[in-house]
Amino acid sequence: MKVHFYKYQGAGNDFILIDNRHLGLNHQNPSLIAGLCDRRFGIGGDGLMLLQNKEGFDFEMVYYNSDGQPSSMCGNGGRCIVAFAKHLEIFEKETNFLAVDGPHYATISEEGNWVSLQMINVEKIERDGEAFVLNTGSPHYVSCTSNLRDKNVFADGRVIRYNERYAKEGININFVEDFGDHYFVRTYERGVEDETYACGTGVTAVALAMAKMKGQKGAVSTPVKVLGGDINIRFNYDGQKFSDIFLEGPATYVFEGDIDI
């Protein structure tokens, strides 16, 4: 079976996208998806997404990590599939779609390369020692650090991800350094089991955790730098609940092609 695919990236977080509205591709095949995401023997990507029809929504986002397993919400993937849906002429300026963590609203710039994606509301932030633990569509661990550019994120992140508390369900590990006018974030992602150039739900978790730590309330806008570029997170916080959370950043077409499955 020959399948047409697209490659998109959001701040260096790269994905394989397939229009599965009429294709009928059976994607419940971990080894197939892992093979497509393999950077040496496949197309290569941090994950694979299928755009599917869903009654009551413009489309449905079905996401798999590069290990071939179904994943929780991927924020940068969400922005990329919005740009992909725009390319497919499913919508013009704003869209409502369904993901694994529920409905999402998004807008896209006229140029089609900057996406603002609304994330789920967050009410619960826990502590694990000095770190913060919260779910922004995916579970995240946020740890403040210094000299982040020199940090071995793979080794240090892996130790936390596979410790006794998190090994079974897995968690994404975010290290953050505060530069005053922005945060610098590096993330070890479960499912990819490596550091990625960006993590949308991860930088969202960082922005919320830092706001809570600093006692920021009201309308907050948080610039974040990742290895793959610049992202912004804006939200409202009343001291109890984070709402109107938007993950904003680039979503860029890279290439497309055909592959035999």
Active-site entry in 37, 80, 144, 199: 199
pLDDT tens for 12-28 read 999 999 999 998 888 88
Residues 47 and 147 in one domain: no
- Is 199 one of the catalytic residues? yes
pLDDT tens for 191-235 read 999 999 999 999 999 999 999 999 999 999 999 999 999 999 999
Contacts of 180 (CB under 8 A, 6+ apart): none
Active-site entry in 37, 74, 80, 144: 74
Residues 140 and 112 in one domain: no
Total structural domains within the chain: 2
Residues 90 and 106 in one domain: yes
Residue numbers of the domain that contains 230: 125-242
Residues 114 and 129 in one domain: no
Residues 142 and 83 in one domain: no
- CA–CA gap between residue 127 and residue 58 (Å, rounded): 38
pLDDT tens for 36-48 read 999 999 999 999 9
Helix axes 200-214, 75-87, angle to 10 degrees: 130
Residues 109 and 143 in one domain: no
pTM score over 0.75 = yes
Per this entry, what is the length of the chain? 261
- Is 74 one of the catalytic residues? yes
Residues 145 and 62 in one domain: no
Residues 188 and 86 in one domain: no
Residues 59 and 110 in one domain: yes
CATH number for 14:
3.10.310.10
Helices (H), 139-198: 153-161
pLDDT tens for 105-143 read 999 998 878 999 999 999 999 999 999 999 999 999 999
Residues 104 and 210 in one domain: no
pLDDT for position 28: 87
